[in-house]
Structure 1
Amino acid sequence: MVDKLPAPARIRVLPSWLLGRAAAHGRGLVRAALAGDGMPMLHHLVLIAVQEYGPVAQAELARTVAVDPKDMVTILNSLQADGLVTRTPDPRDRRKNAITTTDAGEQRLARQEPLVDAAMDELLAPLDPAERATFLALLTRVVAAGAPTVS
């Protein structure tokens, strides 16, 4: 077996590379935590967005969380089959569906919150509480300065 070479030294010091590696690690931790509860990470994202913005139009939800509308239909079908969301005609425009979390969806998110928190604790374990606060404040500034609002 051939050992994999590390990324070139010049790349390993770039903030974009470091952020990407940290993000990939964080997503992996969250993905594993949610898998233990039987939910794909993207389904969790959609369910959180419905909880926060619902009732919300299906198309608006897809735009908000940057999910292809076809994929959103599949995700919502799954969440609805699990009894976590409902789709009803939007009272403002009957051609659209309004998506809302159910009590079961709210309970599922409440059950998953400590799982995600534990994953984030693991991600940030090398930092003490003051460093975590500073790190999050700095990341928030970087994102606010130019990154997309959702991703």
Structure 2
Amino acid sequence: MRRLSSLPTRLLSLAAMQSDRRVTEGLATADARKWHFAVLATLDESGPASQAQLSERTGIFRSDIVAVVNELAGRGQVERAPNPADRRQNVISLTARGRRQLATLDGLLAEAEDDVLAPLSPAERAELVRLLTAIVRPHE
């Protein structure tokens, strides 16, 4: 078992599975999913966007972004409006209800991260973020 327990890629996979499970469970308590958070956070940080722009900014496939936006619009967390520059396109905006939901999700994600990263000190957490960023960036 030493071979398995010392493979960095396996350890990354195990950590990702644990983290994903905890985040999914946490968001579910607010009737939300990771994609909901991604769209709400992107709109909050970048402002109104077309569905194509949201797809690019979040990494959610264009075929899936429509369903996510439909769900969020149905909950009153985002709203669609025709793009004045191109009537064939919709512009998606964050609503006040969406901002409140995002604040809730931020808190739930912070709890999940604290749970997953509990064995690490603040300095180790910062180092982990630095190392993961170094791994992820070249492959984006």
Question: Which structure has the highest helix share of the two?
Answer: 2
Name the counterpart of 2:68: 75
Per the normalisation by structure 1, the TM-score is 0.84
Contact 1:54 1:98 in 2 (8 A): no
Structure 1 stretches lacking a partner, 5+ long = 1-7
Percent identity of equivalent pairs: 38
Aligned equivalents of 1:138 and 1:68: distance in 2? 27
Give runs of aligned pairs for residues 1-151 of structure 1, distance below 5 A.
Answer: 9-144=2-137, 146-148=138-140
Aligned equivalents of 2:44 and 2:56: distance in 1? 16
Question: Residue 129 and residue 89 in structure 1: after superposition, are their counterparts in 2 closer, same or farther (change >3 A)?
Answer: same
Contact 1:58 1:98 in 2 (8 A): yes
**What amino acid maps onto 1:14 in structure 2?**
L
Name the counterpart of 1:3: none
SS in 1 for 2:92: strand
Q: Report the more deviating stretch, 106-115 or 16-25.
A: 16-25
SS in 1 for 2:76: coil
State the Cα distance separating 1:147 from its structure 2 match: 2.5
Structure 1 runs, 4 residues or longer, greater than 4 Å off: none
Aligned equivalents of 1:108 and 1:140: distance in 2? 27
Structure 2 stretches lacking a partner, 5+ long = none
Q: Deviation string for 1:13-72 (max 9, x for gaps)? A: 222221122112111111111101111222222221222222111112112222222221
Aligned residue-pair number: 140
SS in 2 for 1:88: strand
Q: Report the more deviating stretch, 25-34 or 13-22.
A: 13-22
